[in-house]
A and B are shown apart, each in its own frame.
Chain A
């Protein structure tokens, strides 16, 4: 049981390049999330998904797109990278809240460190 796995761990992009960050979870979680963390700041939600084929915007969605084609995977795309997107990106997953299972904690990956020059 690997939990939440993020690839790649590190990446350097030039302004205008595109890339996709992959998040995979093996816990059969319904919900998945993408956060970014900048120096001295807390985590900010970019996009999230409550199930396969569905996505929604979070706090800072501009410049990013996401897809959830399979339940276990959540992809974060940068179509045209900008220096402002230099950050550490964290993926997380959790069970769906139900009457008998409120508040399943989020499980986080160990991050992707992205630098845009």
Chain B
């Protein structure tokens, strides 16, 4: 599985858009980009995933660059409840989903 690189921490003001970057320069053509988050003391929560097209759901948007070497998770209107550690993960299209978690980005939403 491709290695991903994320900044260790970020801050964002409540109500603003939070943009979380992820570098995955060694990603292969059969690997998706997944985003999960972990709110303190809880299990990780799935947010969104994509292969090469931009994706949007009720939680967030995922922007993947054309060369697929990086992506950005966008939380359009961050709230205090979005404070969490966000993990960007690259994993193959098929097979058992043995997600490999890195250190993630600790996002703090400030009032």
In the complex, which range does the number of interface residues on chain B fall in? 20 to 34
- Cβ-defined contact, B49 with A103, below 8 A: yes
Residues of A within 8 A of B97 (CB): 31, 33, 94, 97, 103-104, 106
Contact residues on A (Cβ < 8 Å of other chain), bracket: 20 to 34
A26 to chain B, nearest CB (A): 16
In the complex, A20 has a CB within 8 A of chain B: no
Task: Give the CA-CA distance A109 to B16 in the complex, in Å.
Answer: 30
Q: Contacts A42-B102, A42-B103 given: A103-B44 contact, CB under 8 Å?
A: no
**Chain A 50-73 residues near chain B, CB threshold 8 A:** 50, 56, 58-59
| Interface residues as binary, A34-55 with B (CB distance below 8 Å gives 1, 0 otherwise) | 0100001111110010100000
Pairs across A and B, CB under 8 Å, 14 listed: A31-B96, A33-B97, A35-B101, A43-B44, A44-B101, A56-B96, A90-B43, A94-B97, A102-B94, A103-B93, A103-B97, A106-B99, A108-B44, A111-B43
